[in-house]
Amino acid sequence: MPIINIISGLFILAGFFFFFTATLGLLRLPDFYTRLHATGKGDTLAVLYCLIGLAVYHGFNITSVKIIFIAVFMFLAQPTATHAISRAAFGCSFMPWKPEGGAEE
């Protein structure tokens, strides 16, 4: 088994790990903003790792260059979209979650 397959497999497995943790964050965290934060960070890293793994697997050719361009675009677009969604929610007076019985401000 060539070393390139092992390296690309490790990148793809790391991407699946971050997809899994982002999904857990979506299911387990208490409110919209924390869920958005978990999925925004986790999905960005997951897509980046999976696409880098695919680029490594294909070697240096036009396909891997296109995959790297897609990875850079996703790395820039996903956090920007997450920020825009959270600002829109806050602008619509969608307040963050506060635990019950917590300290009064």
Coil, helix or strand for 36? helix
Cβ atoms of residues 84 and 57 within 8 Å: no
Whether residue 52 contacts residue 7, with contact meaning beta carbons closer than 8 Å, is answered with no
One pLDDT digit (tens) per residue for the chain, 105 residues? 799 999 999 999 999 999 999 999 999 998 899 999 999 999 999 999 999 999 999 988 999 999 999 999 999 999 999 999 999 998 998 788 777 765 555
| The model's pTM | 0.82
Residue 29 has what DSSP assignment?
Answer: S
